[in-house]
Amino acid sequence: MEEYHRHCDEVGFNADEAHNIIKECIDGVLGGEDYNQNNINQWTASIVEQSLAHLVKLGKAYKYIVTCAVVQRSAYGFHTASSCFWDTTSDGTCTVRWENRTMNCIVNVFAIAIVL
Q: Which of 14, 58, 64, 100 binds another protein (CB under 8 A)?
A: 64
What 3-state DSSP class applies to 51?
Answer: helix
Is 41 one of the binding residues for another protein (CB under 8 A)? yes
Which of these ranges, 15-23, 24-32, 78-86, lies near another protein under the rule CB under 8 A?
78-86
C-alpha neighbours within 13 Å on the C-beta side of residue 9: 0
Residue closest to 86 by CA, chosen among 116, 61, 111: 111
> Binding string, 13-32, against another protein, x = CB under 8 A?
--------------------
